[in-house]
Amino acid sequence: MRRFPRREFLKSGGILTIGMLAGEGAWGLDRVIGPDQQASLIPLGVASYSFRKFGIPDVIKFMKELKTPYLNVKDMHLPMTSVAEVRQVADEYRAAGITLTAAGAIYFTKDDDEDMRHKFEYCKAAGIPLIVAGPTPDTLPRVEKFVKEYDIKIAIHNHGPEDKYFPSPLDALKAVEGMDRRMGVCVDVGHTARAGTDVPSALRAAGSRLFDVHMKDLANASSKESQVAVGDGSLPVEKIFAALIEIKYPGYVDLEYEIHEDDPMPGMIKSFAYMRGVLAGMGLSG
């Protein structure tokens, strides 16, 4: 699959289609009919860590500007306080049209029932069906116990070469092999590339255990500090989406923009434009 330059997408009918559709709803989310006349959708969302310097009202405002309602919320934007307070904040998001698709990353480093129950209760109170998680091999059996009790999925987030447990999604997949089918992975494409793992291959390997994708781009696939807007770097964005289509991935692709923390929106807007252009070229809308 050839790589599409950003300029080509901005000139393309695909981007024109996205722009025309964006006016049809408050969030601009519509389906584009592909050659087979079947409506398909890969929903693009945001990891709220991208907005770590901002409060909840700003997060809601930014999400509307990005024309996506899908939020993987970090606890800085949904504090782990009392059940009543968690429900109240979650309701504020929903009243604004935002869907809380996942929580996290949430870390499970303490092999303790009370600690884990508190975190699962937090997600239950917020009505969140998925935890993007940072467990350890030792805590995984206890995590699985709570997954079964609460019927909340776990997606282990890989963190690249610095992660002594799960640098690659393949390490996480090996760890959950044979466990409950609600134990899976969140593939962070940047960290996956830095771990020396081919990203599209990792997505295919995850298959039905792929519960979330954190999207980013790197100018240098081995350098964490080289993050750029999606489409400006070296990661195979088109092949990543093609792999997701191939495995019939049912989840969300969340932009995790970790640079320019004081002013993230210009780069995030560029990233969404590029991703939507790629999907439009495939006959899909994000």
Listed by start position, the domains of the chain span 6-22+30-281
Residue that has been written with the tokens 């923390």 in this structure: 261
The pLDDT of residue 87: 98
Q: Are 179 and 221 within 8 A, CB to CB? A: no
Min mean pLDDT across 4-13, 44-53, 85-94, 173-182 is at 4-13
DSSP result, 107-144: EE-S--HHHHHHHHHHHHHHT--EEEEEE-TTTHHHHH
pLDDT in tens, 148-184: 999 999 999 999 999 999 999 999 999 999 999 999 9
The DSSP bridge pattern shows strands 227-228 and 217-218 to be antiparallel
Q: Are 277 and 44 within 8 A, CB to CB? A: no
End-to-end alpha carbon distance in the chain: 19
The pLDDT of residue 29: 38
Residue 17 confidence class, pLDDT cut points 50, 70, 90: very low
Residue that has been written with the tokens 């640079």 in this structure: 259
Phi, psi of 263, rounded to the nearest 5 degrees: -150, 70
Q: What is the largest CA-CA distance in the chain?
A: 55
pLDDT in tens, 116-156: 999 999 999 999 999 999 999 999 999 999 999 999 999 99
Contacts made by residues 27-36, CB under 8 angstroms, sequence distance 24+: 27/64, 27/67, 27/68, 27/69, 27/97, 28/67, 29/67, 29/68, 29/69, 29/285, 30/285, 31/284, 31/285, 32/279, 32/280, 32/283, 32/284, 32/285, 33/283, 34/282, 34/283, 34/284, 35/283
Domain 6-22+30-281 part of CATH 3.40.50.970: no
pLDDT in tens, 66-115: 999 999 999 999 999 999 999 999 999 999 999 999 999 999 999 999 99
The pLDDT of residue 14: 40
Give kind and range of the element (H or E) at residue 97: none
Q: What is the DSSP letter of 224?
A: G
Rounded to the nearest 10°, the torsion over CA 77, 82, 88, 90 is: 40
The pLDDT of residue 5: 52
| Whether the model pTM is above 0.75 | yes
For the cut 70, the answer to whether the pLDDT of residue 8 exceeds it is: no
How many angstroms separate the Cα of 66 from the Cα of each of 71, 173, 195, 251?
Answer: 11, 32, 30, 19
The pLDDT of residue 198: 98
